[in-house]
Amino acid sequence: MTSRKPIRILAAEDYPANAELLKECLTGGGYQVEIAVNGEEALRLAFAAPPDIILLDVVLPKLDGFEVCRRLKENKATSGIPVLIVTALDSDRDKERGIQAGADDFLNKPLNIFEVLTRVRSLLRVRCLSTDLERALDYIRDLDRGGPGTWPGGWRPEREDDDTGGGGAGVRATLLPRPPGPKSGHAVPPPPKPPPTDAT
């Protein structure tokens, strides 16, 4: 039986006391934690071995958290990683900047250990569901392209001009198999005749 791969978290925090608190909190929650002390190091570590989630302090040397987040979200290898912005800033403008950079959630300082773990678990759950959905959609696309899988009963989704009048695949064409028609070589039986009525 193979052991489960630990969840990896990258935390970018330049203040040693906060970095130590984050590492102790997340390690105690069962996560594998790596600390970056500036924005450039955070990017380098994330690109070299993409973690499962990233915690970014806003005020970092060399590159601030907003810029690091923006570059992470622009890169295909790291765009799907949840980013949790950790900040002592509490203005709407700063929240807006984080959202524009692609942040998935925010944590305000001073840090609360319970809140840190709750937000991390929530983002990881969302990412897991998103990954499962993408895999299911990839499998369906593979089937539709004639890949290794097969649709139940040999049925395949109809093309765009079926069931929809040319407006894209309809619900029936996408989800439900058609009812079986008459078997080849057999005539369709005529409808039953009405019973004779007595002439009056």
Tell me the average pLDDT across 169-181.
44
pLDDT tens per residue across span 67-100: 999 999 999 999 999 999 988 877 778 888 888 9
Residue at 195 is within a domain: no
Domain count, the chain: 2
Domain hosting residue 154, numbered range: 146-175
Q: What pTM does this model have? A: 0.63
pLDDT tens per residue across span 19-72: 998 899 899 889 999 999 999 999 999 999 999 999 999 999 999 999 999 999
Q: Are residues 70 and 153 in the same domain?
A: no
Residue at 1 is within a domain: no
- Place 180 in a pLDDT band, splitting at 50, 70 and 90: low
Residues 41, 42, 44, 48: is their CA dihedral positive or negative?
positive
Q: Are residues 44 and 135 in the same domain?
A: yes
Token pair 């984050």 in the structure block, residue = 22
Structure token pair of residue 181: 């028609």
Residue at 186 is within a domain: no
Residue at 200 is within a domain: no
Three-class secondary structure of residue 40 per DSSP: helix
Residue at 187 is within a domain: no
State the Cα angle at 75 between 72 and 77, rounded to 5°.
100
Residue 23's beta-bridge partner residues? none
Q: Are residues 123 and 159 in the same domain?
A: no
188 touches 182 (CB < 8 A): yes
Q: Are residues 109 and 171 in the same domain?
A: no
Residue at 116 is within a domain: yes
Q: Are residues 18 and 117 in the same domain?
A: yes
CA distances from 102 to 3, 71, 84, 188 (A): 33, 9, 10, 61
Residue at 180 is within a domain: no
Q: Are residues 169 and 120 in the same domain?
A: no
CATH number, domain containing residue 99: 3.40.50.2300
pLDDT reported for residue 156: 52
Domain boundary among 141, 164, 189: 141
pLDDT reported for residue 27: 92
